[in-house]
Amino acid sequence: MTPHPKPPLLSVRNLSIRFRTGDGMVHAVNDVSFDITRGQKLAVVGESGSGKSQIALSIMGLLARNAQAEGEILFDGSNLLKLPTSELNNIRAREIGIIFQDPMSSLNPYMTIERQLGEIVELHEGASRSTARKRALEVMDAVRIPDARNRLKSYAHEFSGGMRQRVVIAMALMCQPKLILADEPTTALDVTVQAQIMQLLDDIQRDLGTSIVLITHDLGLVAGFCEDTLVLYGGRIMEQAPTLEIFEKPGHPYTRGLLRAVPNIGDPAAKLLAIPGSPPNQRRAIASCPFHPRCVDAVTDCAEKLPQLDGGNSKRACLRPVEELT
Amino acid sequence: MEARKRLNSRAFADDAAEEMVTSRSFWADARLRFFRNRMAVFSLFMLFCLFLFALFGHLLAQWNYEEIDWSVLGKVKTEGGPSLSNGHYFGVDELGRDLYARVVQGTRTSLLVGFVAGPAAVILGAILGALSGYFGGRLDQTVLGFYTIWISIPYIIFFVVWQAFFGRSLGQMILVIILVNWTAGLLIVRGQVMMLKNREFVDAARLLGMSDMAIIFKHLMPNILWVIVIYTSLVIPEVIMAESLVSFLGVGIQEPNTSWGALISEGARTMTFGTTWQLMFPAMFFVIAQVSLFYIGDGLRDALDPKER
Amino acid sequence: MNPSILSVKDVHVEFRVNQTKAWPWSAPGIVRAVNGVSFDLQPGKTLGIVGESGCGKSTLIRAIAGLAPMTGGTVHLDGQPIDYGSKSRLQDLRRQLQMIFQDPIASLNPRMTIREIVAEPLIYFRPDLSSIDRTNAARDMLDRVGIADHQFNRFPHEFSGGQCQRIGIARALVAKPRVLLCDEPVSALDVSIQAQVINLLKDLQSELSLSLIFVAHDLGVVRHISDDILVMYLGGMMETAPAGRLIEAPHHPYSQALLSAVPVPDPRAKSTPQVLEGDLPSPLEQQQGCLFQSRCPKRFDACKTTRPSLEATPDGKSACLLAGS
C-alpha cells in the first residue's frame, strides 16, 4: 500500500453484501475495499450481477431489507454502516448525491421541479423558500438547463430524457455534496445525449471539486472520463488501476477479455473474442477465483485458491503473473 | 491461444456440472408449493369430505329430505332434536322433515351452485376480458361500457326480477348467478392480456402466421391461467355466499329443494323456539366450506402468484 | 448490381395516438414513425440501421415483417411484391423472413419448454414434417447455437439472457429463412455475452447464407457486423453508405454528430463530442423542410423550406441539401 498524501474522502473496507432469498443466500459483494480521494473520478466497471450497484446502494444506506452488509464504509471518518438513521440521513442528503439510471424514477411526477429542488435545501439546511428558489436556479444553470427561470414551474414529464437526467443531477448538486455516485447515469439515454451528460459531470468535477464514482458496464465511457478504474466480477475486485493502464496493460484475464469483446469502432476487422460461458452463480460462497470457469488462462490452482488483490498503484487479483497471460 | 481454442470449441462452455438442477414446469412447481402449505392441504381434505358428504350422505339417511315424520310433527321442540334412535341424526326441521337429509340436499345444491356457477362465471369473464384486452379498440370500449352498466345494477333486484320472469328452478339459479358474477375475472384478465400481448413472444408467434385466436388460446391463456385459477378460488365461496344470501332472503331456491342459505334462514327463524340444532348444523357446514375455500384460495395464491416467490 | 433479396421502397408507417381528447370522437393525433425509407438488401449481406430512440428504426423492420401497419410504400422479396393484406402471400414471406428481438427473455413463452419453442415454427412452415422430424430439426438447431441436449426440456427462466437470445436465434432460423431481421438483439446483454451472440450470428450468416438487417443503437456493434449502414432520424433516412465509409467519413451532419458522440475505448483519444443543440422534436408535429433542421449545426435558409431528397455522395446517398456540393 502506498501511503496517500491526502486522507481518503470515502474508504470502503472489506465490504461484503449478502441477500437472504427464498432459495438461500446470494453473495452479491465479497470483501471489496477501495478509497476515493477528494476530487477523484473513479470508475467501477462490471457486468450485471457483478455487485456494482449494490456497492453504491450500501454507501447510500439504501440496501434492500433482506440484505446484510459487513465491513466498513468510512466517510469523513464515520462508518456509514453503523451510523444511526438520523445521522445517516443527514450525510446522505448533504454530503453524497446519487444519480440513478432511470431519471423518471428519481423524480416525483406530481411536484414541480422548483419544489423538488427547493425541498432538499429547505429540509436539510433550513433555507427559506426564496433562498431555496435562488439556489435551485443556480443549480439549474449549472447543469445547463436552458430557460431555467421558466422551467422551474414544470413537471418532470414535460422534460425530455436528457433534460430529466440533468434535473436529477441538479437535485444531487443542491446541497453541494462532496461525492456523487452515478449509477449507470447514461444507460437509458441516447449517445448524443450521453455525450452531453458526461461532459456535464466532467465540468462539475472540475469546477466544484466533487469526487465522482461512475458505475457502468461501458468501458468506452470510462476511457474518456475517469482517471482510475476498478473492475468487478462476481462481487469481487479483479483489478484496480489507473484507467490508462487498464486499457494499455490490462493485468487481469477478465479485463483483457472484456476489452477484446467490445467491438472497436476504429478497428472493425478484428473478430470479437467472446468470453465463453455464463456469469457466475452467486448462490454459493466461493473460495476460488470467481472468473476461473470462464478464464482462458486458468490453471489448476485457480479453482482452489482465492487470489488476493495486491500490488502498488495498480492492483490485481490473479494467481498468474502478468507475463504469462495470453 | 490453444487454451482459448479449447474453450471456444466447447461451443459456449456451459458448465454442465453446475447446471444439474432438476427442471420443473411452472405447474409442477406450483403443485409442490401448494402441498407444502399444511393449512391449504387440510382445507382441501375438508372440502373433499364435504363433496363425499354431498355425493354419498344420502346413503346413511333413514329418511327422504321431502318426507314428513308425522310422529314428531307438533312436538318438534321436545322430540325433534338430534337422536340416533329415531334416525334423525341432526333432528328434524319445523315441518318434521329429517334435517340430516335436508343438509345433504342443501350441501348438494350449494356446492353445485358454487362449483358450476363460479367457474363458469369466471371463464365467461376471462374470455371476454382476453378478447377485449387483445383486440382493444372498439370491442374493448363496448365491453367496458357494458361492464360499467352491469356492475351498477344491484344484484338482489336483478335476482328478484329474473326469478319473477323465469321461475325459481336450480338451473335458473345457476344461470342468474353466472350472469351476476361474470364481471369478476374480466378486468384482471383484460389487464394481464394487455400486458402480455406486447411481449415479444407474441410477436414471434405472429411471425409464424398464427391466427389471433390461436395466439390468445395457445400462447396467452397458459400464461394467465394462474390468474384465472386464483380468481375462481375466490369467486366460488362468494357465489355460495350469494346463493345463501338470496335464499336467506327467500328469493332463492324453491321448496322442497333446499340449500345452506335456505336452511340457515329457516333455522334462524325458529331459533327463538329453542330448536337451535336447526340453525347449528347447516351453519356449521356453511362455515367449514367457507373457511376451507378461503385457505385453499390462499394456498393457491401463494403457490401461483409469481410475486409471492 | 446483383438482384437484391429484399427491396424496400418509400415505406411509411403512421400511428394514431390518443392524446387527451376533448371528445371521444375527436380526431386522434398521427405520429409519422417512418417517413419514406428505401433500401436494397443484397443476398448474404448485412444492412445495419442506426439511430437514436424514437427514430423509427424498430418500427421500420416491424413493418417489413408485417407486425406494424405499413401506410405506404412497397416491399419486394426476391423481386416479388409482398401483399400484406393477403394471408397466404404473407405466409410465404414469413417463411423467408424471420426476426429476433431485443428482450431475450420476453421473447420466449415462459410456459413452453425450449424444445417446444424451437419446434413450433416448423408446425406452421413445414407441415409436411412428422413431429419426430420437427423435434430432430429443433434439436439440431439448438445444438448449433450451443445449447446442450440435456437442457432441451427446460423452461426459459432457467437460462441466462445470452442463452435465451441464442434460443431465440434457433427459433428464428429453424425453418431456414433467407432474411433475418434483428431488432436490437444484443443491447440487453452484457458485454462479454454480447460478443458471443454477435459471433454466432456472423457464423450462422455465412453457413446458411443469410441476409441480415441489424437494428441497433450501438454504432460499434453495427460497424462490426454490417456491410452497409443506414442512418435514421425522426423516421426519415439521413444517410446510407458502406459501413467503413460511413464510419470514417460520414457525410450527413447528423451522422457526423452521432459518430462524434460515440465514446472511444481509448483513454488517450481525447474525443470532443459535437454537442447537438435542443431536443428531438415531437413526431406529432409535421414540419416542413429537412427533418434535422432544428438541431443541425450546418443549416441554412433553404433547409426550412425544402425537404432534401437522397442525393448520391461518393459510394452512398445522403439526404442533405449540402450533399451535391
For chain B, the C-alpha Rg in angstroms (whole number) is 26
Domain count, chain C: 1
Q: Which pTM does this prediction carry?
A: 0.84
A227 is written with which cell numbers?
Answer: 482517471
In this prediction, residues B43-61 reach a mean pLDDT of 89
Are A277 and B15 in contact (CB < 8 Å)? yes
Whether the pLDDT of residue B244 is over 50: the answer is: yes
Q: For position B126, what pLDDT does the model report?
A: 93
CB under 8 A, 24+ apart: contacts of B171-175: B173/B113, B173/B117, B173/B243, B173/B252, B173/B253, B174/B112, B174/B113, B174/B116, B174/B117, B174/B120
C300 is written with which cell numbers?
Answer: 441554412
Note whether C275 and C269 are within 8 A (CB): no
Are A274 and C267 in contact (CB < 8 Å)? no
Residues in C whose CB is inside 8 Å of some CB of A read 52-53, 160, 162-163, 190-196, 198-199, 217-221, 223-224, 243-244, 247, 257-258, 260-271, 273, 275-276, 279-280
B40 is written with which cell numbers?
Answer: 391449504
In this prediction, residues C233-247 reach a mean pLDDT of 91
Domain residue limits at C233 = 6-19+27-318
Average pLDDT, chain A: 86
In a domain, C213, yes or no: yes
Which of B207, B213, B226 has the most C C-beta neighbours within 10 Å, making it the best mutation to test the interface with C?
Answer: B207
Q: For position C191, what pLDDT does the model report?
A: 85
Average pLDDT, chain C: 87
Whether the pLDDT of residue B50 is over 60: the answer is: yes
Residue with cell 501511503: A3
In this prediction, residues C156-169 reach a mean pLDDT of 90
Q: For position A276, what pLDDT does the model report?
A: 85
In this prediction, residues B151-164 reach a mean pLDDT of 84
Domain boundaries along the sequence of chain A: 244-326
Q: For position A193, what pLDDT does the model report?
A: 83
Note whether C241 and C229 are within 8 A (CB): yes
Q: What is the pLDDT of residues B253-280, one digit of tens each?
A: 777 788 888 888 888 888 777 778 888 8
A113 is written with which cell numbers?
Answer: 421541479
Q: For position A283, what pLDDT does the model report?
A: 72
| Residue C219: closest CA among C239, C195, C243 | C243
Note whether B61 and B104 are within 8 A (CB): yes
Contacts of A126 (CB under 8 A, 6+ apart): none
Whether the pLDDT of residue C241 is over 90: the answer is: yes
Contacts of C80 (CB under 8 A, 6+ apart): none
C204 vs B: CB within 8 A: no
Are A296 and B3 in contact (CB < 8 Å)? yes
Whether the pLDDT of residue A61 is over 80: the answer is: yes
Q: For position B309, what pLDDT does the model report?
A: 52
B53 is written with which cell numbers?
Answer: 358428504
Pick A217's closest partner by Cβ from C190, C196, C270: C190
Which of A296, A297, A299 has the most B C-beta neighbours within 10 Å, making it the best mutation to test the interface with B?
Answer: A296
Q: What is the pLDDT of residues A140-155, one digit of tens each?
A: 888 888 888 888 888 8
Q: Percent of chain C beyond pLDDT 90?
A: 44
- Cα separation, C267 vs A248, in Å, equals 9
* Residues counted in chain A: 326
Whether the pLDDT of residue A223 is over 90: the answer is: no
Q: For position B12, what pLDDT does the model report?
A: 36
In a domain, C174, yes or no: yes
Q: What is the pLDDT of residues A162-185, one digit of tens each?
A: 888 889 988 888 888 999 999 988
Q: In Å, how far is A117's CA from the nearest CA of chain C?
A: 23
- Cα separation, B101 vs B64, in Å, equals 6
Where is average pLDDT lowest: B36-50, C18-32, C91-105?
A: C18-32
Whether the pLDDT of residue C232 is over 90: the answer is: yes
- Cα separation, A293 vs B17, in Å, equals 11
C312 is written with which cell numbers?
Answer: 448520391
Note whether C74 and C10 are within 8 A (CB): yes
- Cα separation, B133 vs B135, in Å, equals 6
- Cα separation, B46 vs B69, in Å, equals 31
In this prediction, residues A261-273 reach a mean pLDDT of 76
* CATH code, domain carrying C295: 3.40.50.300
Whether the pLDDT of residue B123 is over 80: the answer is: yes
Q: In Å, how far is C40's CA from the nearest CA of chain B?
A: 22
Note whether C78 and C5 are within 8 A (CB): yes
Q: What is the 3-state secondary structure (H, E, C) of chain A?
A: CCCCCCCCCEEEEEEEEEEEECCEEEEEEEEEEEEECCCCEEEEECCCCCCHHHHHHHHHCCCCCCEEEEEEEEECCEECCCCCHHHHHHHHHHCEEEECCCHHHHCCCCCEHHHHHHHHHHHHHCCCHHHHHHHHHHHHHHCCCCCHHHHCCCEHHHCCHHHHHHHHHHHHHCCCCCEEEEECCCCCCCHHHHHHHHHHHHHHHHHHCCEEEEEECCHHHHHCCCCEEEEEECCEEEEEEEHHHHHHCCCCHHHHHHHHHCCCCCCCCCCCCCCCCCCCCCCCCCCCCCCHHHCCCCCHHHHCCCCCCECCCCEECCCCCHHHCC
Note whether C198 and C32 are within 8 A (CB): no
- Cα separation, B56 vs B61, in Å, equals 10
- Cα separation, A13 vs A1, in Å, equals 14
